[in-house]
Structure 1
């Protein structure tokens, strides 16, 4: 009997709040997870979970048992890391990133990372929703400053410009904004965070001070690539990361606004995008995570 496997399934059920959620997290059927819990209870001779068709709760024995075993998977992982610290980084690596960064930046880099570390098995979760490292088994996430929380340990790995862009057709029709204050007279294509419904602010730096421009939303969307295409088709002005905007600029579909002017040192410049690699705790910085973060930081530095 694989007691450690049964214990791990029990922990997943408790942490996920239900058998169905634990089954999804482990890639198992709900019936298989339920059977694992039953086998563990039979082995221990006690009821760990009180289950009905609508709810699940720890019994008193289950609560005591969970408190004693909840650390076991982490201890085993740390022991494995200690035993293989001098060996090549290896094992599964789950990376979470925003959809646009994953599509435009990570996807082109991952083949080179895999070639450098062939014993690391990569799973990329590309989403703009909020991810939970512990519940979803995420090893490392790539986030921008607005997505950081106090619970994360974050390492700054790169900065990329934000570019304000619009199509030639839109600018011919609506005119070219000369200052950030002019944006409130234009149709602005605004990105809404799927996690909390906030608009991504349009921020600038002038004389070393950060300020937010007032905008009039012409379109609102939670997909930055859709916003870029709306802008390219004359829908208004968009604030895009350079890795999203540059192909449209190179093809002439978009023109860049508010470009730095060396003759006017007091002009306002778009605040850049700061990119961070995040883990939940220091112990999560194992060999494979460090290898990925170092690789990504170096690749973005030389990009």
Structure 2
């Protein structure tokens, strides 16, 4: 049975509606060896972030994919606390970010050890939180994937092959995504289990088409950070070229930042439903297509 694994347990397609596939609850972009992110009390995060979650629940959002990963302050206990406080399922990742956000233990681990760690979080749970990771989040450098990032990706591929989990990667350049897809293919991973995060940052639309044609997911996740008319044109072009079955849209918003006093000022998650979807409707995008982009595609991309 295909299910989306969340902080509140597995959910079937029939139990979910609109899903935000790329947001953040808690992120620390300082170097992991210098950060004190683990000292933040979960209750402080709940106070700041629960109202943001409650606002999208009121819009009809039924789940949120939290894209924090190792190296940038992933706190599964915090995601769980916010989820329990609001009743909204949150989808948590295992894996690790790119250099230089790679903790010493990850850099020194073998690929087999990294595979075992990710597999354990995908099947048993993260640390002592009781939260099971649903997917794997990695990254690659803008100029090309480094040897260390390649090792992390190979380990992720092997853990994904054993569990059916999706791998999502923060990758800015399309040519680097093609490198990653080749590495995954060599490990026997279906490209349909790969999400190219931040696809919109690649100006060559032909690379969007190439990656989607290989079966991978492309993700436009800057909703609310550029004008809606620009987003309508971008999404409309993807639909016109037949990419709607491989396209995800989200906002990359939030979050509690432990480097800021009292967590800073989070950006609301409400723009996609409150502004962009009405703009897409006004532009003539059919309701069924919008349902695919906001409900079917996110479930298909992250469920296993």
Q: What band does the TM-score fall into relative to the shorter chain?
A: under 0.3
Larger Rg: 1
* Structure with a larger share of its residues in strand: 1
Q: TM-score, normalised by structure 2?
A: 0.24
Structure 1 length-normalised TM: 0.24
